[in-house]
Amino acid sequence: MKYILSPSILSADFSKLAEDTASAVRGGAEWLHIDVMDGAFVPNISFGAPVYKWLRPVSDAFFDVHLMIDRPERYIDDFLKAGADLICIHCEATQEIEAIAEKVHAAGKLFAIAVKPATPAEAIKEYLPLCDMVLVMTVEPGFGGQSFMANMMPKVAKFRALREDLGLDYMIQVDGGISLQTIGDAAAAGANVFVAGSAVFKPGETEKNARAFIEKFKTFK
Ligand code: DX5
Ligand code: ZN
């Protein structure tokens, strides 16, 4: 299993986004997690495509775009054009999952579905063949710096079991409260892509923090 760190830029210093994200990449992060929030699907507003498009020409990282917005089908073209490598939508936010997956795949990019803590794995079972990744939220989406919900680990394990049963090969991502203390549980349950915001981005420590996660991966079997 390949383990991937996807630092969430929500915790970066937006006055020096290029510098901060480059530090995370120097520490070994291959992905950057880009949290788009609309103030409707979640009770917070972050930024949209016009912000991260400026990062695209200065970063070789894989752009993992997590859309916490209502009816994301309205903006998929914009998010693709701004440089997303993967688009992750919430199943609770749209009736158009198949059409979005088709559009993302037609552009040669990866498609993922996220589930909020209250949404069971079974809710997206029929869509799993369309998924390159599933995202199990380990906090209520909306804010960085919240506590990890260990009670989401059975859901991670359920997605791993479904992958086996259905003969699929999607990645499993966890997002929220991931730290050097909590990541082991998530890996043991079957996650292989780890979002971490507040545990990575800290002034002067970002590169070192990212590297500590990469070192930690070596302890997983
Ligand atoms: C929460 C976001 C997360 C958040 C993670 O809604 O989806 O990506 O930035 O932040 P930490 O790692 O601080 O919990
Ligand atoms: Zn996120």
**174-211: pLDDT as tens digits:** 999 999 999 999 999 999 999 999 999 999 999 999 99
Q: How far is CA 79 from the centre of its chain?
A: 15
User: Among 5, 10, 182, which is best to mutate for testing ligand 1, by the most ligand atoms less than 8 A from CB?
Assistant: 10
What's the average model confidence in pLDDT over 43-58? 97
* Antiparallel, parallel or unpaired: β 4-7 and 31-37: unpaired
C-alpha atoms less than 13 angstroms from C-alpha of 139 in its C-beta half-sphere: 18
- For residue 88 and ligand 1, the question of a CB distance below 6 A is answered with no
pLDDT for residue 28 is more than 90: yes
pLDDT for residue 109 is more than 90: yes
Strand, coil or helix: 8: strand
Q: How many angstroms is it from 165 CA to the middle of ligand 1?
A: 30
CB 146 within 8 A of CB 176: yes
Of all residues in the chain, what percent carry a pLDDT higher than 90? 99
pLDDT for residue 221 is more than 90: no
* Token pair recorded at residue 35: 């949290």
Return the number of other C-beta atoms located less than 10 Å from residue 216's C-beta.
Answer: 17
- DSSP alpha helices (H): ranges in 82-205? 97-106, 153-166, 183-189
- The residue with tokens 């079974």 is 122
What gap in Å lies between CA 34 and CA 186, rounded to an integer?
Answer: 21
Q: How many angstroms is it from 107 CA to the middle of ligand 2?
A: 22
pLDDT at 1: 80
pLDDT at 22: 98
